[in-house]
Amino acid sequence: MRFAKGFGYVVGQNLLIEYRDASKTPDRLDGVAAESIALKVDAIAANSSRTTRAAFNQTKTIPIVTLITNPVGLGFVASLTRPGGNVTGVSLPGPEVSGKRLQIPKRAIPGVSRVAVIWDPNDPAAHFSVEESRTAATALGLNLQVLEGRNADAIDSALQAAMNAQAEAVVFLPTPLLTGLLRMSPVSRCGGGCRPSILARRP
């Protein structure tokens, strides 16, 4: 917490941080948000669109500091220049770079035509990235296979489906769930049959 010292805060003296983690049990997010609000915290730090949604649905007064893509499209802020409301933070590039991700296998694999995209449908921001990926795939002349990976078993099934469909590359759209589950290498999840994979890791 070195950054806090620069603003005159010292943990344990004039700053108390209440950590709550639901990354492995995202169904608990609403409960975690309610618990945090009940503690009467001065601000909530949220690291994903789904976490932000859980807090945003329960408070319009406590500031929510977040790091997400497309906060305007998700309805958290009115605009990036004048957000209004109680949500602030950093807007990350998201849907607009989905086409760039598909350009990587297009350039790296001669003659590539079939690419699979794995995403978490429970992440609100991921829907924008999927639509942008479909548009980009059409422009690049790629046959896109869109597969859901809402949990570990679903990711394994999606990888198997990609191999069965003879996908020549796999792109994982960035969400906290996929990033966390794939800390174990995607190659180790699908044994020796994996295709070239692209995993975008959020900061």
- Of the candidates 59, 92, 125, which is a domain's last residue? 92
For the chain, the domain total comes to: 2
Q: What is the secondary structure of 130-186 as a DSSP string? A: HHHHHHHHHHHT-EEEEEE-SSHHHHHHHHHHHHHTT-SEEEEPP-HHHHHHTTS-H
pLDDT for position 129:
86
Question: What range does the domain containing 83 cover?
Answer: 2-92
- Of the candidates 56, 75, 92, which is a domain's last residue? 92
User: In angstroms, rounded to a whole number, what is the distance separating the alpha carbons of residues 28 and 77?
Assistant: 24
pLDDT for position 191:
45
Same domain as 105, residue 67: no
Same domain as 108, residue 16: no
Tens digits of residue pLDDT in 40-95: 999 999 988 889 999 999 999 999 999 888 899 899 999 988 999 999 998 877 66
**Positions of the chain with pLDDT lower than 70, given as ranges:** 1-2, 24, 94-95, 176-203
pLDDT for position 142:
95
**Which CATH number does the domain housing residue 99 bear?**
3.40.50.2300
Same domain as 112, residue 177: yes
pLDDT for position 182:
60
pLDDT for position 195:
54
Decide if 117 contacts 148 (C-beta within 8 A): no
Same domain as 25, residue 83: yes
pLDDT for position 196:
55
- Of the candidates 92, 113, 140, which is a domain's last residue? 92
pTM over 0.75: no
Same domain as 105, residue 43: no
